Structure formats: structure tokens, C-alpha cells
Chain A
Amino acid sequence: MNENDLRDAMRATMNITPPPEMESAAALAAGRRAVRRRATLAAAGTTTAVLVVTALAVNSGLHLSGSGGGDAPWAGPGRPSAAPTAVDGSLPAPIGTPSAAGDDTKPSWPLDGDGQPQHDATARSGERYEQGKKLLQEVLAVVPEGWSAPVGKPDDEIPLRYHQAQVEGDLAGSTWGYLATATVAKDGRSGQLLAEVHTKNNGLPAEPCALARKFWDMGGACEVLTVGNAKVGVVSAGGGDQRIDQWAAYRHADGIVVYVAQSRVAQNGTSTLKPLKELPLSKPELAALAVKDRFHLS
């Protein structure tokens, strides 16, 4: 059997009638459940932290300065809509907990800036949304001289500039991820700069290359570059995964993780924009950006 025989045999095998098509609704429900589980884990960590801090405060008679009359920064977004009041030691329902009516199709997401629960993991207004927006501004601020950062939507309707803030939480502790992408253009060709920030307690690896390879699970050949006293993992992608060509990863001392990446192709890869021949930044420049305070967002 050679490769052509195998191709023919596989085609013949796949000519059999498959089972009925899978249903989008079931896949969507499974996806929503997965997101809720992640959010619930995040809230469980937050709730544990609240419990510990409260116990310490009560038992030791401590007064937490700055907490009177207001929520801690992480308490607001982590609080469910219509959260039941804690009575007799019972804890408020965490994010993603089914409502009192038992409708597990309506998770309680963190609150958006308008006081209403988010529709999904993505913030559409409020403090976290603004952090995502700020990240885009910081990306635009580091576009190299001689390059432009166009705006708008080309024919594939994917915006040339984009930002988002999304609640995460694979490990204990409420974590947010901010993502910003900007198309950059020069000499009639377009590529992309991207930054992604994960707040504290993100569970990402500490070792620079392990951290870098974790970016979108893309792996790749990594080298460690030194920027001052900082060690930065830099990966150049190869092979078929063409989402991103190169990225740098840095973990700040407080646990906040910054990824800065660049691509020869703008995110609107299906449009008619020509891809870049060369990347906008060198590896040392990419590594230097990753440690910049401008991307250190909490």
C-alpha cells in the first residue's frame, strides 16, 4: 500500500452513510456549560478568599481599611446578579450557579458597567472592559515608526482594531484576560500586533519558555532573551499554525502575565490585504515590549 492507495481506501471508507448530523444546539449548550464551570471555579476561589479574610477580620477584630461601604475591586464583578444574602453562615451563590428557579441555562455572570450581568464571559462595559480598551491603546502606542494602524472593517467584516476583556478562572482565584489586536500596515502590506494580559492567579507557568509555549497552546521553538534583569521567552512559530508568527512572554513578579505577538497576516486574513514580507519588530524589540509597564494591567 502506498500513499495513493491509502487515500483511495480512506475515501471509499468515508463513502459510507454517516450517522445524522450533530446538533449545533447541543454543542452550544456544552460550550456554555464549560464556560460556566470555568467561571464557577473562579468564583469558588474568590469565595474562599472572602471567607478566609472575613474569618481573620472577625476573629482578630481587624478593620479592613477601605472596605467600609464599598466592595473590593474583585468583589463587584464576581458577585452574581440577585445574589442571595448570606444568612446563618450560608455563602452567596458563585458565578455560574443556577438561579433559584433552578434554570441552569441562565448563568450569573459578573456584572457589566451598567450593573447588569454579562451575556457571557466577555465584559461589554465597566472597569474590565476599559482595561481591554486601554490595552489596545497601549498596543497602538508601540506601533513602530513608519507604520500605520488603519481602522475600519475590510470585506471580511473583521475589525482592524479589536479589544476584549474576558473572565477566566481555570484555577483558584478570579482571573481576567485582556486581548488587543491592531492591524499594522506599511508599503501596501498589512500584518498585526497583538497583546494579551492575564491578571494574577492565572495558573500559567513561571518558566519563560514554558510560559511562551502556553500561548494559545501553540508550542514552538523557544529561546530566552534577557531584558535588563528580566527573562523573556520568545517563540517563532513554524509549520501550519499561522495564527501568529512570533510572540514574547513575560511573567511579572506579582504574577501578571504579558504576551506580545506579531503576525505577517492581518487578522482579516480572508480579505484582500497583502501580508507582510517582514515582521514589524525584531525579537529583542518584541521581548522588550513584553516587560514594559504599559502592558502591566491588573
Chain B
Amino acid sequence: MSDRDTAFAEYFAARSGAMRGTAFLLCGDWHRAEDLVQTAFTKLYTHWHRVVRHEALDPYVRKVLIRTFIDDGRRGWWRRERPQETPVDHPAAQAGTDDRLMLMQALAAVPPRQRAVLVLRYWEDMSVEQTAAVLSCSTGTVKSQAARGLGALRTLMSHSVTAE
């Protein structure tokens, strides 16, 4: 195994789980999340020598993952598949599942770029500037998208509660 392969495999083992978690919050589906992670890491492998600094690996993979997710949204993947009442790999319901499902369904109703802003800001704990860099937009856009996304979630969640 070459040096690149060894380093790549080690990095994948260490970080693919966290990246998959982010991807899951974005798309609400573990299978799709794994596809997103695979796509991001494949691109990383092909550009391994350009991402020289170790601390640059996470930002690079995260950026590819987010962009792939948004591009897929433009192509309509998200409109075809939504989180299901019963998760595919988890037939046994757990305590709190309703709340979690409600959040995932509400997130699914938020436009992809707003959703990406919410996940980067409040799950990844990235700053406004860092989020803007990942999404290639202005800091003002990040702030407005975050506010709109939170507002949309608030509305969606309250509607869900009211409906019950």
C-alpha cells in the first residue's frame, strides 16, 4: 500500500463517522449520507496531494460533501426521497423517536442551502465566516439564511405540535 493509501485509509477510519453524521442531518437518510461521504472521500483521494496540511482535510471533505448535497438537491434527489416513518435500519422504535423524526421532517422541508447553513452553524459549530467560505457566499447571506431557516423550523415544528 502506498503512502497515500495508508494515510487516506487512516484518515477515513478516523473521520468518516463524523462526516456521515453531518451528512445524515443534511439528508435525513443513512444510505444517502453514506453516498455523500463516499463521494466526498473519493474526491479527496484523487486530490490527496493537493490537500497537504492535515488540518485542511476536514474543511476540504466537508466542503465537497455540502456541495454534493446541494447539487443533488438541485437535481431533485431530495424531492424524490424523504425520511420515513420507520428508519430503514432501525425497525425497533426508541424513546424520543417521534421528536427526532419531527426534527428530520422539519429539516427536510427547509430548502437545501438553508439546511446546510443550519447544520454547519449549529451542528458543526462553524462561525459565520467559516460557513460562508464553505458555501461560497457572503457572511450576510449566511446570517439571513440562518435566520430564515430557524424561522422555517420554528413554524414547521409548531405546526407539527399543533397538528397532534
Identify which of residues 19-57 in chain B touch chain A, using a CB-to-CB cut-off of 8 Å.
20-21, 24-25, 30, 34, 37-38, 41-47, 49-56
Tally of A-B Cβ pairs under 8 angstroms = 163
Expressed in whole angstroms, the Cα–Cα distance for A2 and B153 within the complex equals 9
Residue from B56, B87, B123 within 8 A of A10 (CB atoms): B123
Expressed in whole angstroms, the Cα–Cα distance for A239 and B63 within the complex equals 13
CB of B42 within 8 A of CB of A269, answer no
CB of A240 within 8 A of CB of B49, answer no
Asked if B77 is at the interface of the complex by the 8 Å CB criterion, the answer is no
Residue from B16, B59, B126 within 8 A of A243 (CB atoms): B59
Question: A residues within 8 A CB of B146?
Answer: 3
CB of B52 within 8 A of CB of A122, answer no
Looking at chain B's contact residues, the main secondary structure is helix
Expressed in whole angstroms, the Cα–Cα distance for A12 and B54 within the complex equals 30
Identify which of residues 52-110 in chain B touch chain A, using a CB-to-CB cut-off of 8 Å.
52-56, 59-60, 63, 87, 89-90, 94, 96-97, 99-100, 103-104
Expressed in whole angstroms, the Cα–Cα distance for A267 and B57 within the complex equals 12
CB of A19 within 8 A of CB of B129, answer no
Asked if A17 is at the interface of the complex by the 8 Å CB criterion, the answer is yes
Asked if A32 is at the interface of the complex by the 8 Å CB criterion, the answer is yes
Asked if A28 is at the interface of the complex by the 8 Å CB criterion, the answer is yes
Given contacts A10-B103, A179-B50, A239-B133, contact A21 B150 (CB under 8 A): no
Question: B residues within 8 A CB of A3?
Answer: 121-122, 146, 150
Residue from A26, A164, A196, A269 within 8 A of B55 (CB atoms): A269
Given contacts A1-B153, A28-B45, A30-B38, contact A270 B8 (CB under 8 A): no
Please give the distance in Å from A36's CB to the nearest CB on chain B: 10
Please give the distance in Å from A191's CB to the nearest CB on chain B: 12
Asked if A200 is at the interface of the complex by the 8 Å CB criterion, the answer is no
Expressed in whole angstroms, the Cα–Cα distance for A104 and B114 within the complex equals 42
Identify which of residues 119-164 in chain B touch chain A, using a CB-to-CB cut-off of 8 Å.
119, 121-123, 126-127, 129-134, 136, 139, 146, 150, 153-154, 157
CB of A241 within 8 A of CB of B59, answer yes
Question: A residues within 8 A CB of B150?
Answer: 1-3, 6
Give the residue name and chain of the B residue nearest to A157 (CB): B54
Residue from B12, B17, B127, B132 within 8 A of A28 (CB atoms): B12
Give the residue name and chain of the B residue nearest to A122 (CB): B49
CB of B54 within 8 A of CB of A270, answer yes
CB of A13 within 8 A of CB of B55, answer no
Question: A residues within 8 A CB of B94?
Answer: 16
Give the residue name and chain of the B residue nearest to A118 (CB): B2
Give the residue name and chain of the B residue nearest to A26 (CB): B38
B positions within 8 Å CB-CB of A:
2, 4-5, 8-10, 12-13, 16-17, 20-21, 24-25, 30, 34, 37-38, 41-47, 49-56, 59-60, 63, 87, 89-90, 94, 96-97, 99-100, 103-104, 118-119, 121-123, 126-127, 129-134, 136, 139, 146, 150, 153-154, 157
Q: A14-B25, A28-B9, A238-B132 are in contact. List 16 more A-B contacts (CB 8 A).
A: A1-B150, A1-B154, A9-B103, A18-B21, A22-B37, A27-B16, A120-B4, A120-B5, A164-B49, A216-B50, A217-B63, A238-B129, A241-B63, A243-B53, A265-B53, A268-B53
A-B contact pairs, 16 of them (CB 8 A): A1-B157, A6-B150, A18-B17, A18-B20, A19-B89, A22-B12, A22-B17, A22-B38, A24-B9, A27-B16, A179-B49, A219-B136, A240-B126, A240-B134, A241-B63, A270-B54
